[in-house]
A and B are shown apart, each in its own frame.
Chain A
Amino acid sequence: MLVEAQRNRGALRRVTGLARSTPGRLSLLALLLMVMSLLVGAATATSVQRRSDALEALADRSEPLAFAAQEVYRAMADADATASSAFLSGGVESATLRGRYEADVAKAAAALSAATGEITRSPELTEALSTLSGQLPVYTGLVETARAHNRQGNPVGAAYLREASALMQTRMLPAARELYGVETGKVVRDLEDAGSLPWPELLLGLLALVVLVLAQRYLTRRTNRVLNPGLVVATALTAISLLWVLAASLLVVYNASASKNEATLVDLLARARIATLTARGDETLTLVARGSGATYEAEYVEADKVLDDLLGRVRVVDGAPPVAEAVEHHGRWQEAHRKVREADDAGDFTAAVALALGQDARGAATAFDALDSDLVEAIGTARAELTGAIGRARAGLGGVVPAVVVLALLAAAASAFGLWQRLKEYR
Chain B
Amino acid sequence: MRRLLAVLALVVTAACAPVPSGAPPIGGGSPVPPRPAEAAELTEPPSTADVPPASCDPTASLRPTGPLPPPGQMPAGSTMAEIQARGRLIAGVDQNTYLMGFRNPVSGELEGFDVDLVREVARAIFGDPGAIQFKVVTSEQRVPTLERHEVDIVVRTMTATCERWQKVNFSTVYLQAGQRVLVPSNSDVTGIESLGGKRVCATKGSSSLANVATAASRPVPVSVAHWTDCLVMLQQGQVEAISTDDTILAGFAAQDPYTKVVGPQFAAEPYGMAFPKADEDFVRFVNALLERLRADGTWARIHQRWLGDPPAPPVAAYRD
Stretch at the interface among B100-108, B176-184, B190-198: B100-108
* 17-48 of chain B: CB within 8 A of chain A: 27-29, 31-32, 34-37
The verdict on A261 contacting chain B, using a C-beta distance below 8 Å, is no
Contact A91 B95 (CB under 8 A): no
Contact B98 A154 (CB under 8 A): yes
Contact A153 B95 (CB under 8 A): no
The verdict on B8 contacting chain A, using a C-beta distance below 8 Å, is no
Residue pairs across A and B with CB atoms within 8 Å: the count is 114
The verdict on A89 contacting chain B, using a C-beta distance below 8 Å, is yes
Give Cα A162–Cα B134 distance, bound, in whole angstroms: 20
Considering only CB atoms and an 8 Å cut-off, how many residues of chain A contact the other chain?
40
Stretch at the interface among B64-72, B227-235, B288-296, B310-318: B227-235
Return chain A residues, CB-CB under 8 Å to B74. Answer: none
Question: Which of chain B's residues has its CB closest to A89's CB?
Answer: B108
What is the minimal beta-carbon distance from A101 to any residue of chain B, in angstroms? 17
Contact A91 B103 (CB under 8 A): no
Contact A166 B37 (CB under 8 A): yes
Give Cα A91–Cα B141 distance, bound, in whole angstroms: 28
Complex interface bits, A110-138 against B, C-beta within 8 A gives 1, otherwise 0: 00000000000000001100110011001
**Given A134-B28, A150-B105, A157-B105 in contact, is the A162-B133 Cβ separation under 8 Å?**
no
Contact B105 A91 (CB under 8 A): yes
Contact B135 A291 (CB under 8 A): yes
What is the minimal beta-carbon distance from A427 to any residue of chain B, in angstroms? 59
Give Cα A312–Cα B29 distance, bound, in whole angstroms: 43
Return chain A residues, CB-CB under 8 Å to B31. Answer: 134
Give Cα A127–Cα B96 distance, bound, in whole angstroms: 35
Contact B36 A291 (CB under 8 A): no
What is the minimal beta-carbon distance from B135 to any residue of chain A, in angstroms? 3
Complex interface bits, A337-349 against B, C-beta within 8 A gives 1, otherwise 0: 0000000001101
The verdict on B138 contacting chain A, using a C-beta distance below 8 Å, is yes
What is the minimal beta-carbon distance from B118 to any residue of chain A, in angstroms? 13
Contact A163 B90 (CB under 8 A): no
Return chain A residues, CB-CB under 8 Å to B199. Answer: none
Question: Which of chain B's residues has its CB closest to A138's CB?
Answer: B34
Most B CB contacts (10 A, CB to CB) among A88, A131, A139, A159 go to A159
A sample of 25 inter-chain contacts (CB < 8 A) reads A126-B27, A130-B27, A130-B28, A130-B29, A134-B29, A150-B106, A153-B106, A154-B255, A156-B98, A156-B228, A156-B232, A158-B103, A159-B228, A159-B231, A159-B232, A160-B232, A162-B36, A162-B226, A166-B37, A167-B34, A290-B95, A290-B110, A291-B136, A292-B136, A349-B134
